[in-house]
Structure 1
Amino acid sequence: MIDKTYEHLNNILQKHPNLAEKIIQNLLIQLHNRKIVSIDKIYQHSREMAASLPDTGDKKKYNPNAGKVHQWGKKEKEYIRKMVIKHASENFSIEEIDRIVNYVSKTEKAFALENIANLPGVSFWLLAEKVHEFCNLPEAEPIPLSMATGIRVALLKNFISDNLQFIRIARKHIRITDLDPIIKRTLGSETGTGKIGGKAAGLILAYKILTDEYSGDEDYEYFQKNVYVPESYYLRTDVFEDFLAYNGLVEYQNQKYKSIDEIHDEYPLIRELFKNADFQPAIKRQLRHLLDKIGEVPLIVRSSSLLEDNFGTSFSGKYDSIFLANQGSLDDRLSALIAAIGEVYSSGLGPDPLEYRKEHDLLDYFESVAILIQKVVGERFGDYFMPLWAGVAFGRNEYRWTQQLKYEDGLVRLVFGMGTRAVDRVSDYPRMIGLTKPLLRPEATPREIKFYSQKKVDVIDLRSNTFVTMTLDEILDKIKTPELSKIISTFKDNHITDPIGNVSYQEEGQPVITFNNLLKDKKFPELIGRMLKKLEKAYNCPVDLEFAYANQKFYLLQCRPLTHRLVEEKIQLPDHVPENKIFFRTERDVPCGVLRNIEYIIYCDPLDYNEIPDNDKSLLARVISKLNRLLEGKRFILLGPGRWGSSNIKLGIPTRYSDINKTKMIFEIARESGGYTPEVSYGTHFFQDLVEANIFYMPLYPDLSSTFFNPGVFDTCDNMLGQLVPTYERFQKVLKVYQVPRCFQAQYFHIYMDRDNQKSLGFIAPEDHS
């Protein structure tokens, strides 16, 4: 047996002459570590043998009186080699030797991979080939962690993102072997050097954190069984750069240096140019092959720019996402996909993302956009396709309608159907879930629960090949699944009744989306809560998630760091403020912080707003935008009706982020209309914009008995609107602009917000220098 082992080892050394020295070194280390024979003993024996040699040129290299530092001669190395082979053959099996040889081969491949990955300008597919070779090596002992970490970092920078905060976390969880399947689903030219961008990076990292069996956390099996990610494909950032050059669109990268009015006016043209542009033939072939492979299944085309989903700059909702029904001939589907990609590319040149970049000092950064193409999570119901439910979850709960809810436990916005209704400002109501007590609602009565429930559902119409919005009654007729019992309750005789068993809802009465049985089951809130906590621990900050549920599986769609305000001080509302100097006092949905020395107040009363024509409602957003830029650098606040930024002008002024981003605080005045008030912003993309821009947000409920609201405090003040924007002087009746020190000599407006006790106070007082 020893002879066979000896022969096997010698054959390996002859077959791999370039690795022979490394193999001998590793065998020597194993002999030493297993206490078979020490390195010192082998070295000493080799010295003695070399010293006994006849006096030749080789012998004079060894001087026993030269101390510990000397170079090995040729004969000494030969003796070491012979002794290592002898001891290894006597003490190791053939399988053990093969394992050591495989380890040496793997480390050498790892060194080569790291060197190539660190070369500037190395092509994507050359590096991809080396990754694939490494991942297909025979199993061996793991390479040293320091070596593996170095390779991970180099590959992450090449393939995914060079954001250092991302890499700091990702290198602990994303392994080299994890990259191979990602690379196989990446599209781009063979010589390109692009990345897959921030949104893709966030999803990949979050899933690996949750399911990483090597992380030391014992709950990875729980997440492996309960969390999935949709089938995804990646169009690299260099494809975007080639797209611009191929279509003569490079000049539009300089839109960012134009005025906001120019950006606003020129964006519709740019969007059409990008939608009708084309790709190089090689990229079109890849896209065609992708569509042919996945078939006629609905897709979503999402941006994944290098700047997206980073720490402090999430670009939440700034770039478009396009749903495609993806039905029909391959040529038609390819044409629709190319147009969707072009539209997503163009969305980065719109007013909101460019203004956002300016706000965060990112304007000079060359923004390169990758594309994430995913199969839509959903089920087919006749001609319609949708998830049963979807939504967003936040690691912090800014919407605490009762002190029973804890800020650090998080918040969920949950909807029936596509998750678009959870993040966009639409005329509807998601189910708001405080994870401290998931069944606790902000509504008090069955009639309020019915009113403040989702009425419309976003779905993909496979027959018309479009994304559509349907009423609840329309879509319920199409859905036949026992899981509907988790979503729908019945309103009858002023009572809400939850289904028992698999009965979806009573035929008599009105269906109401409550998610009551889903929340009673506790599995969903527990899963979301555990995900938020584990990801926060890894990120060292809270996160927000997008998710969807279909075919009895929960899918994670997106994860990014959640920007939130860190206010450590306890807020103490001032005492003895004169009543005639108080603008408002509230006890609901209060954030945490203090705003002092506000100079300007811009106020639009909801009742006045309701009286003006719809055309003027739309134009009012332009007036706000003008004031926003004129007062840049001043301390001003905005108070307006219902929902700022709503696409429905009846619900609020249809401003965009770039129209309001210079203010210090936004108030949504939730006046009752027909006995009810509008839904607040917490958890929408709009709300996240405000938090990241350090803009405070708070709803005001003037019709609640606990609210004191006194706009009459400014009755003696001049309306400055006509002086600031003379062109829009006719809006003075509906829009008031007050310069507080001008109204009240040497005094300013101050706002104190005590989140812990849910109390706030807005009042006029002398300038505060604290």
Structure 2
Amino acid sequence: MLSKYKLNQLYFKDTQFANLMTRRIFNILLIANPYDAFMLEDDGRIDEKIFNEYTSLSLRYPPRFSQVSTEEEAFAQLESMPFDLVLCMPSTGDNDSFDIGRQIKEKYEHIPIVILTPFSHGITKRISNEDLSAFEYVFCWLGNTDLLVSIIKLIEDKMNLEHDVQEVGVQLILLVEDGVRFYSSILPNLYKFVLKQSQEFSTEALNAHQRTLRMRGRPKIVLARTYQEASEIYHKYQNNILGVITDVRFPKVERGEKDGLAGIKLCAEIRKDNPFIPLIIQSSESENSLYAAKYGASFIDKNSKKMDVDLRRIVSDNFGFGDFIFRNPETGEEIARVRNLKELQNILFAVPAESFLYHISRNHVSRWLYSRAMFPIAEFLRPITWNSLQDVDAHRKIIFEAIVKYRKMKNQGVVAVFKRDRFDRYSNFARIGDGSLGGKGRGLAFIDNMVKQYPEFDEFENASVAIPKTVVLCTDVFDEFMESNNLYQIGLSEVDDDTILRYFLKAKLPDRLVEDFFTFFDVVKSPIAIRSSSLLEDSHYQPFAGIYSTYMIPYLDDKYEMLRMLSDAIKGVYASVYFRDSKAYMQATSNVIDQEKMAVILQEVVGNQYGDHYYPSMSGVARSLNYYPIGDEKAEEGTVNLALGLGKYIVDGGMTLRFSPYHPHQVLQTSELDIALKETQTRFYALDLKNVGEEFSIDDGFNLLKLHVKEAENDGSLHYIASTYDPHDQVIRDGLYPGGRKVITFANILQHDVFPLARILQLVLKNSEQEMRRPVEIEFAASLSRDKDRAGTFYLLQIRPIVDSKEMLDEDLAQVPDASVVLRSDNSLGHGVMNDICDIVYVKTDNYSASNNQAIAWEIEKINQQFLADGKNYILVGPGRWGSSDSWLGIPVKWPHISAARVIVEAGLTNYRVDPSQGTHFFQNLTSFGVGYFTINAFINDGVYNQEFLNAQPAVEETKFLRHVRFEHPVVVKMDGKKKLGVVLLPKDDAR
């Protein structure tokens, strides 16, 4: 009956409220003599009244009125601008607005014309003799601006009815009444009620923009004045009618005689067709109440003083408005009341079966959902009636699952405003504050929306794709924190990082956040990552990757202790804006620090708990451009670096597993035994759940543990991730076997597709690149289920553009002779031409030892500062892997310490051969700044490093480990990113 497929269909069909109510009335021409116009305005301005009416009902776009009093004026106005509606007020004077109206209709037949008559006996009589075929409606003016709103809305509803019903199944209320006097007072009453109700239900929306759009999904009101018209409307839209309100005495056909029982006949016809649709009979003849009882209709006496109140109450109770009330079918007493979807979901299984049955068999639930503009779920539930299912519990389950699906779908891809009573496990992304989300925040909101738009993400058997639960503290919270605690002075001063952090930790966050944070803890129930999301970070052309702090805190049952940790972490991220490295970085990128504002992302940490450790099964960085293609990989197929544990390991340049998502079976590192044993991950990062951050430190990794892979084996987290080395047979076997060293190969995932990682990454990279219209880099993590069911969730953590310099090279660099280059790399990263560099700084290779790498890093930092101060750039050459956190692998510089270098060269020595590293923040910064990265192993004829030439030049400066050479003419750098070739040409006067 209820296939998974059908529920999935429901998932994708979100309501495009923006496509509803597209035809509007913007300009109204009012034809009335000055006196009537004045009476109409009641010496106040109509525009202003309508504007106030509109704003009090949260309606947008109030129309503008233009008032004329003669035929000439009317035609002059109509020629000068387009009108959507003409209102004629017939007066007792010579100017006959009926005639004017008819003449306008002849010339402008598309414009609806409405007669608005002051209520008097004479005029009523006169109307009965007029030919009214040119006019849409005749209304009776009772001195109330509400009526104008109703006229406008009635005509807009009529214009949009057919389209909106077909588009999403918008509902309508059918009012059958031919008495001008009566419908002129009933309509304002009904509209006011419906608009107020739609304001209420729009609270299901997740932010202000959505709320305004949702109001477009409100039920429409349709007025029929004859039996024939009412019957046609009913049969055309019978599946979309919330209820019918009918008079008793009205004509069968237009301009026909009145039929004293027309309304009763209409009820009989409708009841034959639908036993449950709510009917209301209004009549000034009280004996008609007997008919009402016969057809299960409510009765309203038109002579009653409280007719308005009665009508509102009955519409509210029966047409699905207001709260949903579960009643006892025997006594009619209230059993439970729900105000919104979340409450309905919570109470579904607790409602007694007989009450539940009473409501579903009468379609009450779907009617309530329709009236609240929740079309996908109402549409889905309506055909599932008691007759089709005959099982109360199955019914509860279906409604429950449909609500869950619907709420997940509504929350996805939307930046909701954080509301304590609404944030729950189906919420995805919310913001606190009205400022900017910052770079990462925007990226996350963007990915969340992308996952929603592409149905393929939902089609993996054993994997779901999502973003972690996220709440963003917008930049205005940062401003408030900085100002209320007077922190700018200390932040912008020259004191050291520790002092800045101490000041920030002492400061106070706004009190109102406390309850919000508690709600977030209750929902997430897992460790929380506190990430920076600054305005400048990840802005398209100057990524600030890895410059600011990201803290993680464990989940504790003691929410006050957790609150303390969270507050400290947020202040720590705020403080990192003013740390020394950030300031150096700002200078390097010519940004002004006081333009930097920080949003903070609070996000559940992806992973599983193993004793006191917490970490994901894998985390990684994927890029849609691969400047290091190996074998039959193509540059545009992208590349992925994958590791066990937290992503900090990759960011710090640890040993990761690199593969192309289109060739997951070809992994270079696991292709040969000795490489696999030497070049795979041996350590990983996990969050230490015992460390509750008593001493918050400027090192954001103070509570992360760098563990040996053996620990993961003890945790039992290596299923499908590790292979086992068998020393006897000298082979590595995919999977876990007792004894033998465990090697992190992800073999079962990449080779045997236990979890569809490669396919998900292909989709993610393809769709993100398409949506961003440029190459992208993505950070992700995945947690596999602890059970052996191979299921898991793939989480997208961040997306940012890879900035590529578009300077195209039309020459073939392979043709440049070796004799004219200082450096040549056949494995370079970067693209473009630089012709303004005169300096080269290189690490001396005589007596080089890796044990001096830390000292070399300090010397380079000093020289780099000098270049920054002079506003110049240089080429940096040295052995090993730049920026490695392991000083035995290379010189452990951080990005700010070499930020003035435009080309960085890894030059291998005979005993110190380098494989190019890629995928760290270090590399993200290289590519964003268009920095070239050359790998040269000249001793095996892999490239050229003409060190004799450099040694022969006079040094501007020479230290224990470094030599700095400057030329009179620039050395020209050329890089071809697609072919991975790079050259640095000899300066002009030295070219031989």
Q: Same fold (TM over 0.5)?
A: yes
Q: What residue in structure 2 maps to residue 406 of structure 1?
A: 634
Measured in 2, the distance between the counterparts of 1:441 and 1:249 equals: 50
Matches for 1:672-711 after TM superposition, within 5 Å: 673=911, 677-678=913-914, 680-711=916-947
- Structure 1 stretch displaced more, 588-597 or 315-324: 588-597
Trace 1:322-341 onto structure 2 (pairs within 5 A).
322-327=551-556, 329-341=558-570
Query: What do the CA deviations read for 1:276-310 (whole angstroms, capped 9, x no partner)?
Result: 33223322343345335544x21111112233333
Partner AA of 1:418 in structure 2: L
Matched ranges for 1:400-549 at <5 A: 400=629, 402=630, 404-425=632-653, 428-443=654-669, 445-465=672-692, 466-479=703-716, 484-490=719-725, 492=727, 495-499=730-734, 504-522=735-753, 523-549=756-782
1:612 positional shift? 6.4
1:201 corresponds to which residue? 442
- 1: CA distance, partners of 2:768 / 2:816: 45
The answer on whether the counterparts of 1:351 and 1:658 sit within 8 Å (CA) in structure 2 is no
Classify the secondary structure of the residue corresponding to 1:740: strand
Deviation at 1:424, TM superposition (A): 2.0
Which residue of the other structure, out of 823, 827, 844, is the alignment partner of 1:588? Answer: 827
Per the TM alignment, residue 337 of structure 1 is displaced from its structure 2 partner at its CA by 1.2
Name whichever of 453-462 and 655-664 sits farther off. Answer: 655-664
Match in the other structure for 2:809: 569
Deviation at 1:528, TM superposition (A): 0.3
Provide the residue aligned with 1:178 in structure 2.
414
The aligned residue for residue 624 of structure 1 is 863
Q: Is the 8 A contact 2:725 2:742 kept in 1?
A: yes
Letter in 1 for 2:704: F
**8 Å CA contact 1:489, 1:514 repeated in 2:** no
Distance across 2 between alignment mates of 1:711 and 1:68 = 90
Aligned partner letter, 2:637: D
Query: Secondary structure of 2:459's match?
Result: helix
Matches of 1:754 and 1:670, distance apart in 2: 21
Asked whether the 8 Å contact 1:211–1:223 carries over to 2, the reply is no
| Cα displacement (A) at 1:694 | 1.8
Matched, 1:242 2:480: yes
Q: Secondary structure at the match of 2:901?
A: coil
SS of the residue corresponding to residue 778 of structure 2 reads strand
Aligned position for 2:281 = none
Residue 133 of structure 1 and its aligned partner are, at CA, apart by 8.0
**SS of equivalent to 1:281:** coil
- CA deviations on 1:498-554 (whole Å, 9 max, x unpaired) are 32xxxx323343211112221113521121011111111111112211111113211
The separation in 2 between residues aligned to 1:459 and 1:554, in whole angstroms, is: 18
| 1:764 counterpart = 2:959 | no
Structure 1 equivalent of residue 884 of structure 2: 646
Structure 2: distance between partners of 1:547 and 1:615 = 32
Q: What displacement does 1:431 show?
A: 0.5
What corresponds to 1:80 in structure 2?
A: 136
Residue 438 (structure 1) shift: 2.5
1:209 positional shift: 1.4
Report SS of the residue matched to 2:569: helix
For 1:578 and 1:682, how far apart are their aligned partners in 2? 27
Deviation of the 1:188 alpha carbon: 8.5
Tell me the SS of whatever aligns to 1:544: strand
- Counterpart secondary structure, 2:686: strand
Contact 1:188 1:283 in 2 (8 A): no
Distance 1:96 1:473, change over 3 A: closer
Q: Cα–Cα, structure 1 residues 332 and 590, in superposed 2: closer, same or farther, change >3 Å? A: closer
Question: AA paired with 1:406?
Answer: K
- Residue in structure 2 matched with residue 557 of structure 1 by the alignment: 797
Taking structure 1 as reference, are residues 631 and 487 closer, same or farther at Cα in structure 2, changes over 3 Å only?
farther
Shift in Å, 1:65: 5.8
1:138 aligns with 2:372: yes
Matches within 5 A, 1:234-383: 234-252=472-490, 254=492, 262=494, 266-291=496-521, 294-295=524-525, 297-327=526-556, 329-363=558-592, 366-383=595-612
Structure 1 residues 463 and 765 mapped into 2: Cα distance closer, same or farther (>3 Å)? closer
Give 1:592 shift: 3.8
User: Is the counterpart of residue 749 in structure 1 residue 949 in structure 2?
Assistant: no
- Where 1:390 maps in the other structure, the secondary structure is strand
Note the alpha carbon deviations across 1:140-160, whole angstroms, 9 max, x for none.
Answer: 789xxxxxxxxxxxxxxxxxx
Q: Is the 8 A contact 1:131 1:176 kept in 2?
A: no
CA contact (8 A) 1:392 1:413 kept: yes
User: In structure 1, how many angstroms separate the alpha carbons of the residues matched to 2:523 and 2:411?
Assistant: 28
Q: C-alpha deviations, 1:81-105, integer Å up to 9, x for none? A: 25999999xx99999533999x999
Of structures 1 and 2, the larger Rg is shown by 2
Contact 2:821 2:985 in 1 (8 A): yes
User: Deviation of residue 371 (structure 1)?
Assistant: 1.3
- Give the letter aligned to residue 62 of structure 1: I
In 1, distance between residues paired with 2:436 and 2:194? 26
* Residues 360, 713 of structure 1: alpha-carbon distance in 2 compared, 3 angstrom cutoff: closer
Contact persistence 1:313–1:692 (CA under 8 A): yes
Amino acid at match of 2:900: K
Change (3 A) 1:343 1:332: same
Secondary structure at the residue paired with 2:720?
Answer: helix
Aligned mates of 2:586, 2:822 — CA distance in 1: 35
Q: Distance in 1 between matches of 2:854 and 2:748?
A: 44
Q: CA 1:610 to 1:132, structure 2 compared with 1: closer, same or farther past 3 Å?
A: farther
Deviations 1:59-83 (A, max 9, x none): 4772766784798652479952259
> What amino acid is aligned across from residue 544 of structure 1 in structure 2?
E
2: distance between equivalents of 1:303 and 1:433? 29
In 2, the alpha carbon distance for the partners of 1:621 and 1:461 equals 35
Q: 1:717 aligns with which of 939, 953, 961?
A: 953
Q: Identity over the aligned pairs, expressed in percent? A: 22
Task: State the distance in 1 between where 2:805 and 2:769 align.
Answer: 15
Structure 2 distance, partners of 1:547, 1:610, is 37
Q: 1:236 to 1:65 in 2, by over 3 A?
A: closer
Amino acid at match of 1:637: I
Kindly state the Cα deviation for residue 109 of structure 1 after the two structures are TM-superposed: 9.0
Any idea what the Cα deviations from partners look like across 1:630-650, whole Å, max 9, x if unmatched? 5523x5211123233333444
Shift of 1:275: 3.0
Give me the whole-angstrom Cα distance separating, in 2, the residues matched to 1:721 and 1:300. 45
In 1, Cα distance between equivalents of 2:856 and 2:643: 29
The one-letter code of the counterpart of 2:673 is P
Secondary structure of 1:312's aligned partner: coil
CA pair 388-187 structure 1, distance change in 2 beyond 3 A = closer
Q: Deviations over 1:206-225 (max 9, x none)?
A: 1211222xxxx663543796
Which stretch of structure 1 is more off in the superposition, 326-335 or 336-345? Answer: 326-335
**SS of structure 2 residue aligned to 1:301:** strand
> Residues 182 and 710 of structure 1: is their aligned pair in 2 closer, same or farther, counting only changes over 3 Å?
same
Structure 2 unaligned blocks of 5 or more: 1-49, 63-84, 118-131, 140-150, 176-186, 201-205, 218-339, 341-370, 377-408, 424-428, 693-702, 786-791
Number of equivalenced pairs: 647
In 2, Cα distance between equivalents of 1:359 and 1:369: 19
CA–CA distance in structure 1, aligned partners of residues 115 and 879 of structure 2: 88
Name the counterpart of 2:965. 738
TM-score, normalising length: structure 1: 0.72
8 Å CA contact 1:589–1:699 kept in 2: the answer is: yes
Change (3 A) 1:748 1:205: closer
Question: Residue 438 and residue 535 in structure 1: after superposition, are their counterparts in 2 closer, same or farther (change >3 A)?
Answer: same
Give the TM-score, by structure 2 length: 0.57
Deviation (angstroms), 1:469: 0.6
Mapped pair 1:394 → 2:603: no
Q: Is 2:620–2:780's contact at 8 Å kept on the other side of the alignment?
A: yes
The separation in 2 between residues aligned to 1:606 and 1:334, in whole angstroms, is 53
CA distance in 2, matches of 1:193, 1:95: 32
